[in-house]
Amino acid sequence: MNKIIYSSVFAKEFQDLVDLKRSLGFKYETESRAFKRIDSFFIDNGLDKKTVSKDICSLWCRKRSYESPANHASRISAMRIFCRYLNDVGISAYIPLKGITKHPPKYDAYIYTDDELKRFFSEVDKSRSVPSECPYRGDVMPVFFRILYTSGLRVSELRLLKVGDFDLEKGYIHIRDAKNHKERLVPVHISLVERSRELKQKIHASSSDDEYFFMILPGRPMTLGNVYHNFRRYIEKAGISHTGHGPRVHDFRHTYCVNLLRKWSDEGKDLMAYLPYMRTMLGHESFEETAYYLKLTAERFPYIKGKIKDSFPDLISEVNIDEHEFY
């Protein structure tokens, strides 16, 4: 990745903040790109003194006609972070107030039915490779989407895995640099261990451990765009209606969690004892994130709502969490 160079009057401060965050273990790639846009904004508006006035800050925070509420909020957040840092190092900067943006409507998670999953994977299995552009698609996609659903992994956790992250003797994946900067081991479903071995033998016969396991071409991982465009094609052929807002690739994670809780409940397992296992598997930082799936399960399968309430009294009515599991 090319190094970002800042050029405004605050070039040093932008770089110092990025360096500070990275020294603390944060990737800070998205944020550094957001700061570059602010850096260019300062240049375009002739800022030549090390101070951020309320007027210049408000100009940056105005909503643009073409941007979504989420993008608007993200721009303001980047400015807020930078201005707070400036104040911390003794430079006068107006800090944007909270509450400027409207929260986008909460997305209702889509839970795929058993029949929809069957139809979806039937279409995935019909994938064909294109030698000049995506020579491995027919081999990669059936394994990729099956692991995605049966592991509850986030899309980018899976698509960026390296050959060395798979231990196919013990049957697990090593997630090394996930959200919240945590590492964890995630088991591969027993039926997929052999398929993963076959995929490795077929396309990674001469690959190093640093090669992307689900590569498009040597040295190139699947992008989010690659995953999304294939996903849309599969659900369309499977006859799964898409409204423009969903279902989404990320809903496989939601479906995995709901079906796992349903399975445990049907087997009579103590959910209080098993929920910490789910929390670790998903890489959650708080219990609230995992409890969100208890509510989804109770809503989807009312017949087990009583069992969930037995383990977590009053939790179902109290949990009200906006989805914050990003790719």
- State yes or no: pLDDT of 244 exceeds 70: no
Q: Are 231 and 124 in contact (CB under 8 A)?
A: no
Res 194 pLDDT > 90: yes
Q: What is the structure's pLDDT at 312?
A: 66
Domain residue limits, the chain? 11-88, 114-237, 253-318
pLDDT digits (tens, 9 = 90+) for 225-242: 999 999 999 999 999 998
Q: What is the mean pLDDT of residues 141-168?
A: 95
pLDDT for res 160: 93
Choices 1.10.645.10, 3.20.20.70, 3.40.462.10, 1.10.443.10: CATH for 114-237: 1.10.443.10
Q: What is the mean pLDDT of the chain?
A: 87
H or E element that contains 167: strand 166-167
In 3-state terms, what secondary structure has residue 282?
Answer: helix
Cis peptide before 247 (omega within 30 of 0): yes
Distance of CA 78 to the CA centre of its chain: 19
Please, what's the largest Cα pairwise distance for the chain? Answer: 67
Quick: pLDDT tens for 36-68. 999 999 999 999 999 999 999 999 999 888 888
224 in Cβ contact with 155 (< 8 Å)? yes
Bridge partners (DSSP) of residue 186 are 173
Instruction: Tell me what pLDDT residue 322 has.
Output: 43
**What's the residue count for the chain?**
327
Retrieve residue 13's tokens. Answer: 């401060």
**pLDDT value of position 103:** 59
∠ Cα 48 50 54 (to 5°): 95
Query: What pLDDT does residue 118 have?
Result: 97
